[in-house]
């Protein structure tokens, strides 16, 4: 029955997208056959007043009608231009995560249930909500220490949002499975895996203790960095459903007039923002992955304060080296080395030719070298690079896509502050310093040290590995003699799972088809 209800929710979502003109706004003239017929049918069912809106406005209205979980889905898909396309990703990135506030009494109940204490014991004063998003809302409050009041921001989970999200998640998985089954060309994009990533990231975002931990980690990483910080966490007043942190007094980075009125140097802020982001990415391998201007404040002394760390990105040492060598290779026009890095990292399958891949990369790099430095976008370069890798069967790399999305946003903010912003000149001290420290002699020494540690760890595990090898050898001998066998319980479970999957898929398709027929009959 969960598959049936997921099918109905999926049909309702599709109907809302049709009625609000989102489907009609797609480039349907390029389609043919049944998809084009469906697009034309969607245009007939679109509200007339919706046709007057831009596509991004239509999308925003549809997502707001569908609810908080679809706002989060839209924001997540904005990080995956490889899945939805660059134009749609830009539209989704413009979705405003602003929802209606919920009553203060419900927030108080959530805090008391999460922390097991009365709000009056936790806060000297607890105010009304000052901002609301799809998953949580923020209240202003005061805490008392030694008779001194301190203003804090209290983030509280929206009541019922977990139940609603996981209900909608069933329909997301149904859509992903149907897409993989009936649209073979989409399998390279791994829609089910994308949905699993959405589920995991949202689970993390809905546990405010994990956001607090991310703030704490980024705070430790940046404690000595010039001009950048994150709010401190009040752990005594933080739980799964509530996060209490330092109140930030500053001007939001999307308030250009306010920044100018306060006498800030916008060019210096733009440079600081980019260098801070690259420093976190290359040096620490841990970065704020939702750095839109609404989440960035500028204090009176010019320090950038980043809030709302529900989405964070991580890059391993291999990915950081990959990124640095790509950027350095484009700067020095060493396209063969850029291609080799892709193969060394295992991102491009070995059956492809390195020289042919280098030729494709040259097609990206050469036009860039003929442009003024201030017009070259690092984010656009990465976007073009990922488009080329599709031709060489490079599988989706979620960590690199998240990096690309964040770089697009951060670079866009910097260019808003300084239209003549020179990305390469600003990035060079950070990227060049990292390359010198990690790809030169010092880096080789660090790699040798890490290799020695790995060998020592392996040596300690030799007795256990020998025992495992002996057991595995005996099991292989038994399989060679008697063949591979499943016990009766395992075989029965596999049969049941396969039968249930086939039935649920067919049932969902019938539910969707009958619902569409009913909707068409009601309208006609």
Active site (catalytic) residues: 290
β-bridge mates for residue 154, sequence order = 139, 244
Output the DSSP codes for 180-223.
HHH-GGGGGG-HHHHHHHHHHHHHHHT-HHHHHHHHHHHHHHTT
The pair of structure tokens assigned to 224 is 């000595």
Report the distance separating Cα 165 and Cα 39, nearest Å: 28
The dihedral built from the CA positions of residue 101, 198, 291 and 94, taken in this order, carries a sign that is: negative
- Tokens, residue 199: 């589920």
Instruction: Assign 3-state DSSP to the chain and report helix, strand, coil percentages, each to 5.
Output: 65, 10, 25
Instruction: Centre a 10 Å sphere on the Cβ of residue 514 and count the other Cβ atoms it contains.
Output: 12
Q: Are 143 and 149 in contact (CB under 8 A)?
A: yes
| Measured distance CA(93)–CA(382) in Å, rounded | 17
Cα–Cα distance measured from residue 353 to residue 117, given in angstroms and rounded to the nearest whole number: 64
Instruction: Give the ranges where 370-461 is alpha helix by DSSP (H).
Output: 378-390, 398-417, 423-438, 441-460
What CA dihedral angle connects 321, 324, 326 and 328, to 10 degrees? -130
- Rounded to an integer, what distance in angstroms lies between the CA atom of residue 393 and that of residue 512? 33
Residue 495 class from Cβ within 10 Å (0-12 exposed, 13-18 middle, 19+ buried)?
Answer: exposed
Number of C-beta neighbours around residue 329 at 10 A:
20
> For 429, what's the count of Cα atoms within 13 Å in the CB-facing half-sphere?
8
Look at residue 150 and give its three-state secondary structure: strand
Which helix (DSSP H) or strand (DSSP E) does residue 324 occupy?
A: helix 317-332
Report helix angle 2-19 to 55-66, nearest 10.
150
In the block, tokens 């500028």 appear at 298
- Whether residue 382 contacts residue 407, with contact meaning beta carbons closer than 8 Å, is answered with yes
Q: Please state, in angstroms and rounded to a whole number, the distance separating the CA atoms of residues 214 and 491.
A: 44
Q: CA 311, 84, 214 angle in degrees (round to 5)?
A: 5
Is the CA virtual torsion 354, 359, 363, 369 positive or negative?
Answer: positive
What are the backbone dihedrals phi and psi of residue 136, each rounded to the nearest 5 degrees, phi first?
Answer: -150, 170
What tokens does 452 get?
């020695």
Query: With contact defined as beta carbons under 8 Å apart, do 340 and 328 qualify?
Result: no
Handedness of CA 363, 366, 370, 372 (dihedral sign): positive
């Amino acid at each position: 029955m969960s598959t049936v209800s997921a099918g109905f929710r999926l049909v309702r979502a599709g109907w809302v997208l049709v009625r609000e003109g989102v489907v009609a706004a797609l480039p349907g003239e390029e389609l043919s056959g049944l998809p084009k017929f469906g697009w034309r049918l969607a245009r007939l069912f679109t509200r007339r007043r919706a046709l007057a809106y831009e596509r991004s406005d239509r999308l925003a209205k549809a997502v707001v009608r569908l609810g908080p979980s679809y706002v989060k889905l839209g924001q997540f898909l904005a990080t995956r231009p490889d899945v939805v396309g660059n134009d749609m990703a830009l539209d989704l990135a413009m979705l405003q995560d602003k929802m209606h506030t919920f009553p203060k009494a419900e927030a108080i109940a959530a805090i008391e249930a999460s922390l097991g204490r009365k709000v009056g014991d936790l806060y000297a004063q607890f105010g009304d909500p000052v901002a609301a998003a799809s998953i949580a809302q923020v209240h202003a409050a005061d805490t008392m220490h030694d008779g001194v009041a301190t203003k804090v921001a209290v983030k509280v989970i929206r009541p019922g949002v977990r139940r609603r999200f996981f209900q909608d998640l069933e329909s997301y998985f149904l859509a992903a499975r149907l897409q993989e089954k009936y649209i073979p060309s989409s399998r390279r994009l791994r829609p089910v895996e994308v949905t699993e990533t959405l589920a995991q990231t949202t689970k993390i975002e809905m546990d405010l203790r994990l956001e607090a931990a991310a703030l704490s980690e980024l705070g430790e990483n940046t404690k000595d960095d010039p001009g950048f910080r994150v709010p401190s966490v009040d752990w005594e007043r933080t739980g799964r459903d509530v996060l209490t942190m330092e109140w930030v007094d500053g001007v939001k980075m999307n308030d250009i007039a306010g920044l100018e009125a306060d006498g800030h140097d916008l060019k210096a802020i733009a440079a600081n923002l980019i260098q801070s982001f690259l420093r976190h990415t290359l040096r620490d391998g841990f970065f704020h992955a939702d750095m839109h201007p609404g989440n960035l404040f500028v204090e009176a002394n010019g320090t950038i304060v980043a809030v709302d760390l529900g989405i964070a990105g991580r890059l391993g040492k291999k990915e950081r080296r990959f990124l640095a060598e790509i950027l350095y290779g484009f700067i020095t026009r060493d396209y063969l080395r850029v291609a080799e890095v892709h193969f060394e990292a295992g991102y491009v399958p070995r059956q492809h030719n390195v020289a042919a891949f280098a030729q494709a990369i040259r097609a990206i790099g050469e036009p860039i070298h003929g442009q003024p430095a201030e017009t070259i976008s690092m984010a656009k370069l990465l976007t073009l690079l990922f488009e080329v890798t599709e031709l060489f069967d490079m599988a989706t790399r979620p960590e690199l896509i998240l990096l690309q999305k964040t770089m697009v946003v951060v670079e866009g903010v910097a260019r808003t502050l300084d239209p003549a912003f020179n990305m390469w000149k600003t990035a060079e001290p950070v990227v060049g310093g990292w390359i010198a420290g990690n790809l030169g002699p010092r880096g080789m020494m660090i790699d040798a040290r890490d290799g020695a540690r790995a060998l020592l760890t392996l040596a300690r595990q030799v007795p256990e590995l020998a025992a495992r090898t002996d057991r595995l050898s005996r099991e292989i001998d038994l399989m060679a003699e008697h063949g591979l066998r499943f016990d009766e319980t395992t075989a029965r479970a596999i049969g049941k799972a396969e039968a249930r999957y086939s039935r649920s898929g067919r049932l969902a398709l019938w539910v969707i088809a009958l619902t569409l027929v009913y909707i068409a009959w009601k309208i006609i």
